[in-house]
Amino acid sequence: MLSLKFIRENIDKVKLSLQHKNVDFDLETLFSHDDKRRDLIQVVEQLKSERNTATKVIADKKKNGEDATTAIEKMRAVSEKIKVMDQDLKQIDDQIFNNLLFIPNVYHDSVPIGQTEGDNALVREWGKKPQFNFTPLSHLELSEKYNLFDFKRATKMSGSGFPLYRGMGAKLERALINFMLNFHVEKHGYEELFPPFLTTREATTTTGQLPKFQEDMYHISGDDLYCISTAEVPVTNIHRDEQLEEENFPYKYTAYSACFRREAGSYGKDTRGLLRLHQFNKVEMVQFVHPDTSYEILETLVNDAEDILQALGLHYKVVALCTGDLSFSAAKCYDIELWAPGEDKYLEVSSCSNFESFQARRGNIRFRRSDTNKLDFVHTLNGSGVATPRLMVALLETYQKADGSIEIPEVLVPFMGIDTIK
RNA sequence: GGAGAGUUGGCAGAGCGGUAAUGCAGCGGAUUGCUAAUCCGUAGACCCUUUAUAGGGUCUCAAGAGUUCAAAUCUCUUACUCUCCGCCA
C-alpha cells in the first residue's frame, strides 16, 4: 500500500504506474474523500476538546457537592453530535483505506518501460543449452518410462492440475527441496522456517494477494482461511505489527511450502504435465532490510537463487521485468528462466522482487532509524529459490542420456542415494 | 467441542465509572578527573498553526459495538493466551 501523502507528492509517478499496470483508478475521488476527512476531523476534534474540558468541570462540581445538571444537559447534545460525526468519519476512513489497497506499487526508476513479456530486458545468461546427439524426450515421456508422475490417478484425487509424484519422481522432488533448503541455510545464511499453509485474511492482505486477487486463491470458507499461493505470505507476516532492530538487518528467512493457485483465467496455457499446476512445491527466500540497502540486496537475492541452478548445472537466463509485466506489489522484479531441452523453451522458475515499503505498510512492519530516531517502514524482498515443478522438468530433460537413463547431478546424489535413474 | 481464568506503555505491574500509579530496561540531557551513582526528560497515529525551529489539539488500556455528561473500569460480540475435561495424528 502507498500512503496518501506519498500519492499526493508523487502523483505523476503513481499515474504512470497505474497506466503501465493497466489499472483504472480515480485518484481525484480519493483526494476529495481525503479533503472531506480532514474537514470532519477538525470539527469533531474541536467538539471533543470542549467535551473534555466540560467533563472536568462536572467532576469538580460533583466533588464539591454542587449541582451540575445544566452542564450535563449541555454536554448531552454535544456528545450526540460527536457520535454522529465519528460514524461519518469512520465510514470515510474505511473507504479511503479500501481504495488504497487497490493501488499498485510504483516501479523503481531502473525498471525497463514496456507493455508485455517481450519488453523484458535480458540481464545475463549462465551456461549453454546442452547439445544432444538424439532427440531429447520431454519430461512426460521420461515420466512414462520411469513412472515418475501419475497425472491420471491424481485426477481421481483432486481433479486436474494436482501432481502425484511416484517412486523416484517423489524421491527426487523431496531431494530437491532438501538440497535447496540446506543450501540457503548453510551457504547463504538464511534461517529455515516451516510455516503454516493456511493464512488469515489479514495476513494474506499484508503481502498483496488480497483483496485484489481473491479469485486466484483457494479459500476455506468455513474458517475464512486462504491456502497460500507462496510461502511469502506466512513468512512475511512473521514480523507483522513488529518493530525490528536496525542492527539485526537483514532478516533472512527461507522456507519450503506447498503453493496453491487457482490459475483462474489461464486455462489451456501450459497445460502439459508439470508446467502449470494448482499445487506445487517451492522453497522461498524472504528478507526484511533497511530501505537504503534494498536494491543492493535484491541483486544478492537473485544470486542466491542462481547459485542453486549453478550447483545443479542448469542453463538459465535472468530477465528484468518491464513495467507492464511487473506484479501488483513489486517495485522491481527479476525472473529466472531455465532451459528445458525437451520442451524446447525457457521456463520461469523464480521471481525475485523488491516490494520496498509496500508490504511493510500493509503489515505495519517498522524499525527505528538510528539517523533520525524516527520509526520507518522496512523494505521487504522475496524470491523463489526455486519452484520445483519446472526445475524438475529442466533437470530431467537436461540430464537424460542417449541410453535413456537420467543422470542425477552430483549435489543431489547424497539426497537420492543413487547417481542414475534407469 | 465443554468449563474456567486472563489480555494495560519495550518488559514487569497497579487501577475496576471522573479520564493511565509505580518499578526495571533503552534512548536523550544535566552533574562528574574517569567510571559508577544521582537528577531531569522520554511512546505512537492523526489534525491544525508555523518558512523552519516549535506549539496546540484529538485518539490509543486486545478488537468492535452499547450504556453514560464522562468508560481501562459497566454490558454485549469477536479474536488470542493459559488451565482443566472431551476428541484426536
Nucleotide nearest to A55 (CA to C1'): B70
Out of A100, A127, A143, pick the residue that ends a domain: A100
Q: Judge if A135 and A278 occupy the same domain.
A: yes
Identify whether A108 is part of a domain.
no
**Residues A215 and A266: beta-carbon distance below 8 Å:** no
Which nucleotides along chain B are within 7 A of a protein C-beta? 10, 18-19, 27, 44-48, 57-59, 65, 68-70
DSSP assignment of A271-332: -STTSS-SEEEEEEEEEEE-GGGHHHHHHHHHHHHHHHHHHTT--EEEEEPPTTTS-SS-SE
HSE-CB for A41 with a 13 A CA cutoff: 9
Q: Judge if A255 and A384 occupy the same domain.
A: yes
Out of A100, A125, A146, pick the residue that ends a domain: A100
Sign of the Cα pseudo-torsion (A154, A339, A345, A144, in order): negative
Q: Judge if A41 and A188 occupy the same domain.
A: no
From the Cβ of A113, is strand B under 7 Å away? Answer: no
**Residues A320 and A111: beta-carbon distance below 8 Å:** yes
pLDDT at A367: 86
Total count of domains within chain A: 2
Q: Judge if A56 and A187 occupy the same domain.
A: no
Residues in a beta bridge with A165: A149
Q: From CA A105, how far away is CA A102, in angstroms rounded?
A: 10
Residue A268 has pLDDT above 70, yes or no: no
Distances (CA, A) of A134 to A131, A167, A339, A409: 9, 26, 17, 20
Overall average pLDDT of the A109-129 stretch:
95
HSE-CB for A183 with a 13 A CA cutoff: 25
Q: Judge if A189 and A223 occupy the same domain.
A: yes
Question: Is the N-terminal amide bond of A14 cis, ω within 30° of 0?
Answer: no
From the Cβ of A372, is strand B under 7 Å away? Answer: no
Overall average pLDDT of the A20-25 stretch:
88
Q: Judge if A232 and A281 occupy the same domain.
A: yes
**Residues A191 and A185: beta-carbon distance below 8 Å:** yes
Identify whether A389 is part of a domain.
yes
From the Cβ of A56, is strand B under 7 Å away? Answer: yes
Tens of pLDDT, residue by residue over A142-195, are 999 999 999 999 999 999 999 999 999 999 999 999 999 999 999 999 999 999
pLDDT at A269: 66
Identify whether A6 is part of a domain.
no
Residue A366 has pLDDT above 90, yes or no: no
Q: From CA A97, how far away is CA A136, in angstroms rounded?
A: 54
Nucleotide nearest to A200 (CA to C1'): B79
The SS3 of residue A352 is strand
The SS3 of residue A399 is coil
From the Cβ of A62, is strand B under 7 Å away? Answer: yes
From the Cβ of A49, is strand B under 7 Å away? Answer: yes
Overall average pLDDT of the A3-21 stretch:
90
From the Cβ of A45, is strand B under 7 Å away? Answer: yes
**Residues A287 and A301: beta-carbon distance below 8 Å:** yes
Give the range of the structural domain holding residue A135, as residue numbers without chain letter: 117-421
Pairing type for strands A251-260 and A279-289 reads antiparallel
pLDDT at A62: 84
And the C-alpha cell for A83? 457520535
CA of A177 to C1' of B88 (A): 30
Nucleotide nearest to A366 (CA to C1'): B44
Identify whether A63 is part of a domain.
yes
Cα A273–A195–A287 angle (5° rounding)?
Answer: 95
Pairing type for strands A379-387 and A279-289 reads antiparallel
ipTM of the complex, rounded to two decimals: 0.85
